[in-house]
Amino acid sequence: MGGKIIDTEVLVNGGGVGGLALAVKLASRGVQVTVVEQLKAESPQYKGELLQPKTLAILEDLEIIDRVLANGHSFSSLEFIELERQISEPPRKVGESCMDYESLATPYNYALMIPHETLKAILLDKLKQYEGSFRYIQPARFTGFKDGKALIRHTKDQSIEPIHARFYIGAEGRNSPTRNAMGLKANNRTYNHHFLTVTIPRPADFTTGKIVTTNHRFLGLFPLPDNKIRTVFLIKAGTYKSMKEEGIEYFHRAYEELCPELGEHVASLESWKDIQLMIPTMYHVNRYVVENLALIGDAAHAVHPMAGEGMNLAIQDADVLGELIAWMKRKGHFDNRLLKWYEEVRMPRAKFLLGLSHLSALAYSFPYPWWRRIRIKSIEQMEQDPALHVKQMLNISGLGRWDNTVLDRLIQIGAFPKRKHTVSRSKQLQYFFERTEDYPWEKEE
């Protein structure tokens, strides 16, 4: 094994959204950071595109919000439409509800869709400002540790470069060699459904998020910039192959039935080659930190995509861990024991959002009519009961946490009447995370 030993304060294995956001945070605070990324070009694989309000606030702190807003499409409401299919008649609406980010007392009272690779490009571009603190090794793969150093295999000549760092961060996504080195396991939970996803052109007036369902079908529609729309179509697990055999017309028909205004746009898809199969999973490791190793993003947790949280959890992890390491640098003392703060802040929040996304996934997992009736009722109650509405939007926004009570759940299923009084701004602000909750170690100063 040849090559010189390089020292860096933080080595980030994986230059996805989580790893790059962490690098921007660290480099902007003068921490020496090296990122190793295995891909040599953009990834052709579809990944998360929805940014929640807390993430937008973090991107503001990283000084890239203007570019993100300019390259994204924001929307504040999400419509839920339930259709009844009739033989030889057009489908009939049996439920219609709308959840609104504008119910939140924050300037970021909206979500934003941005192509995944565009966000990565903005983060990488920002890192050019910090050339003195940032090194990017690409394409190269982190393969494991030896003698207390990370081994990086350069793709071009297969040479191995050992890198010594004060902290090693696993940000490699679902298959994480850092996680393996920490002796942690990701126990995958799978679902009875998969998704087909494709981006198609959208009509200019299709500007908000929409979820359209029938007893057996689910179509999520999320507007992207440049008059495009991300579509996510639920299929029964294991049926992808047989569906493909039916020809692309099957796909055209399904979309046209659920959302006729997209009919001509979906018809522009001539083959299955642009349509990607997405298999939802959920896991959560039981530790984020072992000695001077830590995990962020999908290396630590995978979340069902129903609530659009994947990228957000990764960037929110990066924010807390980055702030903590930058604080240690400022104090002049890197200490493994202080990494526990990161785990203490982020693990319960991620667990909560994994649970919330899982519940949302279950709501669309079973085709039974009684199950559907509960779902329709529950979304309707959430829309119309002010406390349920604010709690749901606050919880998915990442800005705070306001747990549902037993009474909330009873109202949600229609066993109790809806409340009429609105939730005051000051009341909901009590449940927003304060700086001292995001970065509790600062209290020690």
Ligand X SMILES: Cc1cc2nc3c(=O)[nH]c(=O)nc-3n(C[C@H](O)[C@H](O)[C@H](O)COP(=O)(O)OP(=O)(O)OC[C@H]3O[C@@H](n4cnc5c(N)ncnc54)[C@H](O)[C@@H]3O)c2cc1C
14 is a contact residue toward ligand X (CB under 6 A): yes
223 is a contact residue toward ligand X (CB under 6 A): no
**Cβ distance 127 to 136 under 8 Å?**
yes
The nearer residue to ligand X, 108 or 441, going by C-beta atoms, is: 108
Write out the DSSP string of 107-161.
S--SEEE--HHHHHHHHHHHHGGGTTTEEEE-SEEEEEEETTEEEEEETTT--EE
400 is a contact residue toward ligand X (CB under 6 A): no
Q: Which stretch binds ligand X (CB under 6 A): 34-42, 101-109, 200-208, 331-339?
A: 34-42
Q: Report how far residue 34's alpha carbon sits from residue 9's, in angstroms, rounded to the nearest whole number.
A: 8
Q: H-helix or E-strand containing 375?
A: helix 369-384
The nearer residue to ligand X, 173 or 387, going by C-beta atoms, is: 173
278 is a contact residue toward ligand X (CB under 6 A): yes
Partnered with residue 212 across adjacent β-strands are: 81, 219
118 is a contact residue toward ligand X (CB under 6 A): no
**Cβ distance 345 to 320 under 8 Å?**
yes
Q: Report how far residue 15's alpha carbon sits from residue 83's, in angstroms, rounded to the nearest whole number.
A: 42
The nearer residue to ligand X, 231 or 381, going by C-beta atoms, is: 231
For residue 208, give the DSSP letter.
S
The nearer residue to ligand X, 42 or 434, going by C-beta atoms, is: 42
Give the residue ranges of DSSP H helices in 209-337: 240-245, 248-258, 263-266, 310-331
Min CB(430)–ligand X separation in Å: 28
305 is a contact residue toward ligand X (CB under 6 A): yes
Min CB(315)–ligand X separation in Å: 8
298 is a contact residue toward ligand X (CB under 6 A): yes
Q: Report how far residue 377's alpha carbon sits from residue 180's, in angstroms, rounded to the nearest whole number.
A: 44
Q: Which stretch binds ligand X (CB under 6 A): 182-190, 296-304, 319-327, 411-419?
A: 296-304
115 is a contact residue toward ligand X (CB under 6 A): no
The nearer residue to ligand X, 174 or 373, going by C-beta atoms, is: 174
Q: Which of 28, 34, 47, 233 binds ligand X (CB under 6 A)?
A: 47
Q: Which stretch binds ligand X (CB under 6 A): 40-48, 245-253, 344-352, 375-383?
A: 40-48
Min CB(421)–ligand X separation in Å: 34
Q: Report how far residue 137's alpha carbon sits from residue 141's, in angstroms, rounded to the nearest whole number.
A: 9
For residue 432, give the DSSP letter.
B
Min CB(416)–ligand X separation in Å: 33
Q: Report how far residue 135's alpha carbon sits from residue 161's, in angstroms, rounded to the nearest whole number.
A: 14
> Other CB atoms closer than 10 Å to residue 261's CB: what's the count?
12
3-state DSSP helix/strand/coil percent for the chain, to nearest 5? 40, 25, 35
Number of residues that bind ligand X (CB under 6 A): 33
Q: Which of 45, 86, 88, 158 binds ligand X (CB under 6 A)?
A: 45
> Other CB atoms closer than 10 Å to residue 92's CB: what's the count?
10
Q: Report how far residue 264's alpha carbon sits from residue 262's, in angstroms, rounded to the nearest whole number.
A: 6
Q: Could you tell me which residues come within 8 angstroms of residue 111 by beta carbon, excluding any fewer than 6 positions away?
A: 50, 51, 52, 53, 74, 75, 76, 78, 101, 209, 308
The nearer residue to ligand X, 313 or 423, going by C-beta atoms, is: 313
Map the footprint of ligand X across residues 155-194, applying CB under 6 A: 171-174, 177
Q: Which of 23, 24, 36, 169 binds ligand X (CB under 6 A)?
A: 36
17 is a contact residue toward ligand X (CB under 6 A): yes
Q: Which of 39, 121, 374, 429 binds ligand X (CB under 6 A)?
A: 39
209 is a contact residue toward ligand X (CB under 6 A): no
Q: Which stretch binds ligand X (CB under 6 A): 12-20, 68-76, 340-348, 420-428?
A: 12-20
Min CB(292)–ligand X separation in Å: 18
Q: How far lies 156's CA from each of 7, 12, 38, 145, 354, in Å?
A: 22, 20, 11, 21, 38
The nearer residue to ligand X, 50 or 394, going by C-beta atoms, is: 50
Map the footprint of ligand X across residues 308-327, applying CB under 6 A: 308-311, 314
**Cβ distance 10 to 166 under 8 Å?**
yes
Min CB(81)–ligand X separation in Å: 20
> Other CB atoms closer than 10 Å to residue 148's CB: what's the count?
10
Q: H-helix or E-strand containing 341?
A: helix 340-363
Min CB(258)–ligand X separation in Å: 18
The nearer residue to ligand X, 40 or 427, going by C-beta atoms, is: 40
Min CB(46)–ligand X separation in Å: 6
Q: Which of 8, 10, 32, 48 binds ligand X (CB under 6 A)?
A: 48
Min CB(13)–ligand X separation in Å: 5
Q: Could you tell me which residues come within 8 angstroms of residue 72 by beta carbon, excluding any fewer than 6 positions away?
A: 51, 112, 113, 114, 118, 225
Residues that bind ligand X (CB under 6 A): 13-19, 36-39, 45-48, 50, 141-142, 171-174, 177, 278, 297-299, 305, 308-311, 314
